[in-house]
Amino acid sequence: MSDILVVENLKKSFTTGDKTLTVLDDVSFSVPEGASISIVGPSGSGKTTLLGLCAGLDVSTGGSVSLVGIKLNALSEDDRAYVRNQYVGFIFQNFQLLPTLTALENVTVPLELRGEKQYKKKALDLLDRVGLSDRAYHYPSQLSGGEQQRVAMARAFISSPKILFADEPTGNLDEETANRVTELLFDINRSEGTTLVLVTHNLDLAAHTERILQLKGGKLISDQKSMRAV
C-alpha cells in the first residue's frame, strides 16, 4: 500500500527580531493509505504546527511534506486550497462551522466548491448517519456542541477525502458526548476507508488509532503501534 502522507526532515521555525524559535525540528514519518495515526505530546510540543503543515495549511521552513503524492511546499496557497478541497477533510476542536449557513449547507459546501451538482441527498444521508437528519435546517447557533461536531464530521466526510485531519475533536465536549463522537468518527472512518491523522492530548482517544507519534520540544521522540493495534 502506498504512502498517502510522507513527511521528511520537516522543520518549522519563527523569527522574532533577532531570535529564532524552532517549533519543529527534523521530523520524518509516513502514513500509508487507510491507516490511522495519532500525534500526541505536551503543550508547545509542536502537534498543531505539524498538523497544519501536513494538511497544507502552512508551509515549512525546511524539509518537505508530500500529500497524496504532491509536494505541498512547491504550491501556492490557492493551489494548496485546491488540494485540500479534493483530498482532505478536517475536524476541529471548536467545530468551525460557518455560522451563517444551516447544518445542511455547511455539509454541502465542499462538494459545491468542487462544482458538483448532486450533493443534497448525499449530505442528508450523512446527516442521518450522524443522527441529525431532523436538524438539517438549523443554524450552528441552534445546535449543541456535540451536534455541531457531528455536523463538522458530516462535512469532513462528504467529499470522501483521502485523508482526514482531526485537531482535538473531543476537546470541547463533555465525556459522554465525546465518547459518542469518538465512536462515530472511527465508525465512519473505517467504513469510508479514510486515512486519519489525529492530534490530541487524550491518550485514550489516541489509543483508538493504529499508531501513536509522540512529540516533545518539536522533535519526534517515538513512533509506536498503539495498544489497540498490538
* Interacting residues toward another protein by CB under 8 A: 1-2, 4, 33, 48, 51-52, 55, 57-58, 68-70, 75, 77-79, 81-87, 90, 92, 94, 96-101, 105, 109-110, 112-115, 139, 155, 162, 167, 172
Closest CB to another protein among 68 and 184?
A: 68
Asked if residue 48 lies in contact with residue 209, where contact means CB atoms within 8 angstroms, the answer is no
Burial (CB count within 10 angstroms: exposed 0-12, middle 13-18, buried 19+), residue 219: middle
Angle at alpha carbon of residue 193, lines to 190 and 197, rounded to 5°: 80
Give min distance, CB of 29 to another protein, in A. 18
Q: Which is nearer to another protein, 147 or 167 (CB)?
A: 167
For another protein, the closer of residues 139 and 186 by Cβ is 139
Indicate the residue among 62 and 207 with the shorter CB distance to another protein. 62
Q: How far is the CB of 228 from another protein (least distance, A)?
A: 26
- In whole angstroms, the minimum distance from the beta carbon of 149 to another protein comes to 14
Could you tell me if 1 and 33 are in contact, meaning their C-beta atoms sit under 8 angstroms apart? yes
Contact 15, 175 (CB under 8 A): no
Do 110 and 97 touch, CB atoms closer than 8 A? no
